[in-house]
Chains A and B, each alone.
Chain A
Amino acid sequence: MESIKKKVISQFRRGAIDSNLECSYYPCHFYDQNCTHCFCPFYPCEDEELGTYITGRTGKRVWSCQQCYWIHRDDVAKECIGRFDGKDWGSMPMDDRLKIKAEIEQMHFKSARPLMVLGTTSGAGKSLIVAALCRIFSDMGYTVTPYKSQNMSLNSFVTKRGEEIARIQDLQARAARVEPRSQMNPILLKPLRDDVSQVIVYGVPYGDMDVGTYYNEFIPAKGNDILRSSLKFLAKTNDIIIMEGAGSPAEINISEFEIANLKAAEVADAPCILVVNIERGGAFAYLYGTVRILDEGSQKMIKGAIINNMRGDPDSLSTGIREIEKMLDMPVLGIVPHLDLDLPSEDSMDIRDSPTPSRFTVGVVRLPRISNFTDFDALNLMEDIKVRYINAPSDASGVDALILPGTKSTIEDLIWLREKGFEKVIRELHGKVPIFGICGGYQMLGKSIIDINSIESDTKETEGLGLLNGVTYFDKYEKSTAQVEGHLQLDPLKRRIRGYEIHMGQTENKLDPPLNRIRAKGKNREDGAYDADMKVYGTYLHGFFDLPPARDLLLSLMGSTEREKGEDGDEGEYDDIVERNLGYLADAIRASIDLESLRKIMGVRP
């Protein structure tokens, strides 16, 4: 024992050494362990949660630390050095040392406190809520890890050790400020073709399986072991595990095969919260149905609900919330507002990485009040064109044409456009790629919008983007609605185009040539305007691209455009964006969720 004491004292003098990669025994407990306390200052702690007595080779009872990871956790090792700092370690009685151990355990639990975040559907927003909770508890000083037992995704990420896990767990690990590792997502399913997926276990390909083989053979044979071993590891190396379910826990037809939701929660002994996305409505029905269709034992595991993605006034839900709380006998922990974040969500990532590249990308600015986006269906159907809806200016890089679509509120959306920083991007693209404005988007392209009588907004005059010379007047509360027919001025064949106008306001433009000759309500007139030199085109016509002439115009403009593809920005820039947005996300969740109640559910003190 004296020799151990000496070694421990010398360890403390060295300070934290992190992983000792030169040691031939490394990693004796787990990969990236902190090796500072090769000899434990608390030995033998006789803490049954950490170790056990075994019979040694000589027949003597020996306290074994083989299964203890705690002192080799980076956070615990460093905390330990701090706590003993300057104290005469060698003469400290064991009781005093164990007091220090108990103090450290207050913060760094010997077995992590888990929380399972379930969703009523996929796309409920679980992933980002998990990321937010990872960040929030990390901010409180806890060591946190995300976890999802089984993930189906084509977007994977490779850890430092070369293990493949789902991309979203990497994002959550960033939020938790920890290094991603395979235990965070021990099973990754990568769909190969109908019903067949590549199964990746602990980051390594295991085999290709169809659904039947996976659920009837693989899961019964291996599922439980994988759940237990991954969760056990994370529980021993973290203070808190924020677990994410998959899809809905209420798939009553497959519940016996399922390991991603309640089964994982049961193995981890995790209380569950249920997230519902209110965006498509039916939130109360989905909450009620998801809980009440489960068997009684499972119902009891669910301790609270979160309503996610709320646009508009959360107070409008108060009667519904009171009712559902009473019916389900559990609290609604918060209403999370709809957030515009520059973070990848699992689902959107799958759409973004569309496997079939098209020749041209047409960017349509996704104005908050975008109207008649069926206008772009015809473009999307063309083999050469992929329509990309653009939420942030950075998404506009690399587009071959830009369209400002119709909007219900031209002035407010123009203000939004400026606030978001789109104006700069539009000016950069001006003259380089064709820019089209449809209806409200056409009004925005002009010099100004005059609204003397506050028909649309309280702003009397709003400066337009100035790419065309038109001035739009909102004089009266009057809406122009008409079906029209005609042809493009630029079309030498004068082929027929067809469309319909729905707009408030009229645009005057004596400087630019009109884009279309049309007949509406029995009268011949002109529509729209263009600037051929700078490739700017505006029209009031919805359905403009429904017939070939306008599509041909767009294609010919894009075909004649020689541009350099935009750079995607370097890695560091991306990290900054992610970091900043994780901060926004965590702030928004902090502000909208009752964390006090959540902590009580988890058994975590402030």
Chain B
Amino acid sequence: MTYNIMLQSTLSGSGKSLIAAAICRYFHKRGYEVSPFKSLNISLNSYITPDGREIGMSQAFQSWACGKEPCHQMNPILLKATGNRASQAIVNGVPRKEFERHGKEGPVTPILERAYRYLEERNDIIVIEGSGTPSEINLNDIANMNTAELFKSPVILIGDIDTGGVFAGLYGTYQLLSEEHKRLIKGYIINKFRGDPSILGSGITRLEKELKAPCLGVMTYQCYSFPEEDSLSMGGPQRGGSPGGDVRDIWLRNLDTFLETMEKEIKFDQLENIMRGGV
């Protein structure tokens, strides 16, 4: 039996890639075979797998966190914006000029299915990352709730408190979902907090009631260097490095430090319970 858990967020750049990497790392360190998965990635930062396939940089990093080299199944579709509102589509790690983005009923589902099943056969746990936010009411969105439905994954919603409005963002994201998608949300996390978290108490309680799901924790803002995939996070503050080494080792070392703090802040037992189908 392979278990899975999916991370979605109220906006892009909320830190879900990193949290996914940390969750991968957490279970990898406990002896599980773990793999990251992201149906569709929209990013210009990519990585080349040992067999020459191209995937999103975040999945490569998450894969290293699982103690393995990345493979293209971890990110079956990668869209690279070429300007003028066009994108280059990389499918299974190979550019496909003719490929266009389809809805759920289009040819995308079999691609996702094949990639996911490949990983499922080889792993105990799959940590799935959504793309952007599930609340875009103007888009037909395959990377978030459709993926969760397809692979029957419980969803953890991540809110970014760094720029404020986190309760509004979580509440609004939840409210704009359909009734059946609302039911997939099993918990939420507040990320990038600075200061004393007790100040959030009344807001957290109210949100638990509104979302009918528990808050798994409030994560402190930690600005270590990790490979970012979003151009919006460029030029931000970074630390946690020393000259002279391999930056990949530095990234993983930073991830371990990050996870150390995260384990104090996130109820991992509750998260694992949700992953195993409990409430």
Contacts and interface: CB of A to CB of B under 8 A. Distances in A.
A312 B167 contact: no
Contacts of B227: 374, 377
A389 B48 contact: no
Contacts of B164: 121-122, 247-248, 251
B168 A286 contact: yes
A189 to B, nearest CB: 14
A47 to B, nearest CB: 43
A120 B164 CA distance: 8
Interface stretch (A69-77, A154-162, A546-554): A546-554
B172 A287 contact: yes
B241 interface: yes
Interface residues of A, number: 75
Nearest to B85: A312
A289 B11 CA distance: 13
A252 B137 contact: no
A289 B136 contact: no
Contact of B173 (A254, A282, A545): A282
Residue from B83, B85, B97, B248 having most chain A Cβ neighbours under 10 A: B83
A547 B246 CA distance: 5
Contacts of A382: 241, 243
Contacts of A285: 10, 133, 135, 169, 172-173, 175-176
Contacts of B165: 119-121, 247-248, 250-251, 286, 289-290
Given A378-B247, A477-B97, A546-B247, A253 B199 contact: yes
Contact of B172 (A292, A313, A316, A548): A292
Nearest to A407: B44
B206 interface: yes
B88 to A, nearest CB: 7
Contacts of B268: none
Contact of B167 (A293, A378, A548): A293
Given A284-B172, A369-B81, A387 B235 contact: yes
Residue from B168, B201, B238 having most chain A Cβ neighbours under 10 A: B168
Nearest to B204: A253
A284 B88 CA distance: 27
Interface stretch (A26-34, A318-326, A441-449): A318-326
A482 interface: yes
B195 interface: yes
A248 B168 contact: yes
A324 B132 CA distance: 19
Contact of B132 (A195, A281, A320, A477): A281
A412 B83 contact: yes
Contacts of A366: 234
Given A320-B137, A377-B238, A546-B246, A280 B13 contact: yes
Interface in A333-391: 351, 366, 368-374, 377-378, 380-384, 387-389
A521 interface: yes
Nearest to A371: B44
Contacts, number: 216
A450 B107 CA distance: 35
A198 interface: no
A543 B60 CA distance: 13
B234 A408 contact: no
Contact of A282 (B169, B232, B248): B169
Contacts of A380: 225, 238
Contact of B85 (A121, A313, A377, A521): A313
A124 B171 CA distance: 18
A501 interface: yes
Contacts of A89: none
Interface stretch (B30-38, B49-57, B112-120): B49-57
Contacts of B200: 253
A289 B171 contact: yes
Given A253-B201, A284-B135, A389-B234, A500 B246 contact: no
Nearest to B210: A293
Given A121-B165, A389-B234, A548 B82 contact: no
B176 A372 contact: no
Interface in B6-39: 10-14
Q: Is the interface of B mostly helix, strand, loop or mixed?
A: loop
Nearest to B43: A371
A317 B195 CA distance: 37
A409 B83 contact: yes
Interface in B164-218: 164-165, 167-173, 175-176, 195-196, 199-204, 206
Given A280-B13, A371-B44, A289 B88 contact: no
B176 A288 contact: yes
A502 interface: yes
Contact of A320 (B48, B82, B138, B170): B138
A279 B81 contact: no
A122 B172 contact: no
B45 interface: yes
A13 B53 CA distance: 85
A279 B231 CA distance: 11
A211 interface: yes
Contacts of B83: 368-369, 408-409, 412
B163 A122 contact: yes
A384 B83 CA distance: 35
Nearest to A320: B138
A218 B50 CA distance: 61
Contacts of B138: 284, 316-321
A290 B238 contact: no
Given A285-B169, A381-B238, A408-B80, A481 B176 contact: no
Interface string B43-78: 011111110111001000000000000000000000
B53 A286 contact: no
B244 interface: yes
Interface in A441-468: none
A252 B167 contact: yes
Contact of B163 (A123, A368, A373, A482): A123
Interface string A513-530: 000000001000000000
Interface in A265-294: 279-282, 284-290, 292-293
A479 interface: yes
27 contacts: A120-B168, A121-B165, A122-B163, A211-B195, A250-B165, A250-B167, A252-B167, A253-B203, A280-B14, A281-B12, A281-B133, A282-B172, A284-B176, A285-B133, A285-B173, A286-B168, A288-B175, A321-B138, A351-B236, A371-B44, A377-B238, A378-B250, A381-B239, A381-B247, A384-B243, A500-B47, A551-B243
Given A374-B227, A502-B46, 10 more contacts: A195-B195, A284-B172, A286-B10, A292-B175, A320-B137, A369-B81, A381-B242, A481-B54, A482-B52, A500-B47
Interface of B: 10-14, 44-50, 52-54, 57, 80-85, 88, 95, 97, 132-133, 135-138, 163-165, 167-173, 175-176, 195-196, 199-204, 206, 225, 227-228, 231-232, 234-248, 250
Q: Which 5 A-B pairs have the closest CB atoms?
A: A289-B172, A381-B241, A248-B165, A320-B138, A253-B203
